[in-house]
Chains A and B, each alone.
Chain A
Amino acid sequence: MEFNVTLLGQAITFAILVWFTMKFVWPPLTNMMEERAERIADGLAAAERGKQDLEAAEKRVADELRQAKQQATELILAAEKRANQIVEEAKDAARTEGAKLVTEAKSQIDQEVLRAKEALREQVAGLAVAGAEKILRKEIDAAKHADLLASIKAEF
């Protein structure tokens, strides 16, 4: 165990190494590591924010879906109601139309009947007058008894 200049050399080497580490090794490495830690923290915070945003968006989507469903149900109900209404209206219209047609037909029939009666009456009146004429040819002057004939005709 003897001391010599090796000790001094070692101490000087040590001093140089420490200076070198202080200058070129420690600051860049620790700065870089700190920056990385910061970046990781930022990334985690951003991820957390993203998660929250996602949750909010999902909630909104669910809300809107629910609303849309409700609206759709309402629309369907309204449409059904409207359809029923239309059907009812159509039925009504058909019914009135039918009734109208029936009344028209009836009135036509009545007219036909009236016309037929008229014709019949005229024919009967004609026949009766003709019969009466035949019977009363001699006694009855057509010109004299025209009033009488007309009144008989009207009575039919």
Chain B
Amino acid sequence: MASNATDYIKHHLTFWNSSHEGGFSSLHVDSFSVSLILGFLFAGVFAYVARNAKLENPGKLQLFVESIVEMVDTQVKEIFHAKSKVIAPLALTIFCWVFLMNAMDMLPVDLIPMAAQWIGFTFFGADPHHVYFRVVPSADVNVTFGLSISVLICIIGFSISAKGLGGWIKELFTAPFHASGPVGTILLAPANFALQMVELLAKPISLSLRLFGNMYSGELIFILIALLPWGAQWLLGAPWAIFHILVITLQAFVFMMLTIVYLSLAVEKH
């Protein structure tokens, strides 16, 4: 049973890799395709609603979409005071996409992997033990870092567009410690630069690892619950799933909020 359980957990935590050797040029087909499908789902539904939006007598779907847009718009307007056409759509995309990716955690933990194994075995003659499918893209560090590094690029881009390239580089060396004379400024430059780098790099790392950690642990606990005797699974599974509804929404919200905060910090002058 012990090795059985270990195998089960390992199998669930292995990605469908495009090459058996792994390496940088390989692709996690499962997390990439699921995130792609969910991204298109979000874009499709929202674009459909935006295209058919009615001023009067909006439908239920339109009201639902509008409430999300309204929520994001309120947050952006409260936190981000400069003018930007990018930040609100960016925040909306992050919230919806991350939420959808997190929500994959609510699917039964064996549903998609079993389906993938059956399809692989029936149509492609693959060994079911070597068919892997992890369905929660946000439990993949590649996905969370892909998002947070994009946010980092946005932070740098916003800083440069707000302060100019020279202004941004100057700020890297002269803040947070200010000196009055040129000698002091030069002396403080390395310390300032080191602190700024830490500050800059801590943002994407904390963003992505927070999301990854929450989703990975949630997935792992669902896997562990699935190892319980079937009659007892609901006892832990139901509370954890209900609690997880909160977690997936909260994580998506936190990712969005922190992105807005970081971007508003980026355009503010120190």
- The residues of A with any CB-CB pair to B shorter than 8 Å are 1-11, 13-15, 17-18, 20-22, 24-26, 28-30, 32-33, 35-36, 39
Which residues in chain B, 146-187, are within 8 Å of chain A measured between CB atoms? 146-147, 149-150
> B153 — nearest CB in chain A belongs to which residue?
A11
Complex: A52 Cα to B130 Cα, angstroms:
77
Complex: A17 Cα to B101 Cα, angstroms:
14
B42 at the interface (CB under 8 A from A): yes
B90 at the interface (CB under 8 A from A): yes
Chain A residues in 8 Å Cβ range of B85: 22
B66 touches A29 (CB 8 A): yes
Complex: A7 Cα to B24 Cα, angstroms:
10
| Known pairs A6-B143, A17-B42, A33-B70; A11 contacts B93 (CB<8 A) | no
The minimal Cβ–Cβ distance linking A5 to chain B, given in whole angstroms, is 5
Complex: A2 Cα to B24 Cα, angstroms:
8
Interface residues of A: mostly helix, strand, loop or mixed?
A: helix
B143 touches A10 (CB 8 A): yes
- The residues of B with any CB-CB pair to A shorter than 8 Å are 17, 22-28, 31-32, 35-36, 39, 42-43, 46-47, 49-51, 53, 55-56, 65-66, 69-70, 73, 85-86, 88-90, 92-93, 97, 137, 140-143, 145-147, 149-150
B93 touches A10 (CB 8 A): no
A3 touches B24 (CB 8 A): yes
Chain B residues in 8 Å Cβ range of A28: 50-51, 53
Complex: A2 Cα to B49 Cα, angstroms:
38
Chain A residues in 8 Å Cβ range of B50: 24-26, 28-29, 32
A-B Cβ contacts below 8 A, count:
120
A22 touches B53 (CB 8 A): no
> A2 — nearest CB in chain B belongs to which residue?
B22
Complex: A28 Cα to B143 Cα, angstroms:
29
- Choose from B42, B43, B97, B142 the contact partner of A7 (Cβ within 8 Å): B142
A4 touches B47 (CB 8 A): no
- Choose from B97, B142, B150 the contact partner of A4 (Cβ within 8 Å): B142
Complex: A33 Cα to B68 Cα, angstroms:
12
- Choose from A7, A22, A29, A39 the contact partner of B146 (Cβ within 8 Å): A7
The minimal Cβ–Cβ distance linking A19 to chain B, given in whole angstroms, is 8
B47 touches A25 (CB 8 A): yes
B92 touches A5 (CB 8 A): no
The minimal Cβ–Cβ distance linking A139 to chain B, given in whole angstroms, is 144
Complex: A9 Cα to B66 Cα, angstroms:
29
> B143 — nearest CB in chain A belongs to which residue?
A10
Complex: A32 Cα to B70 Cα, angstroms:
12
Question: Known contacts A4-B24, A18-B86; can you find 17 more A-B pairs with CB under 8 A?
Answer: A3-B145, A4-B27, A5-B26, A6-B27, A9-B146, A10-B32, A10-B147, A11-B147, A13-B35, A14-B39, A14-B93, A17-B42, A17-B97, A18-B93, A20-B47, A21-B89, A30-B88
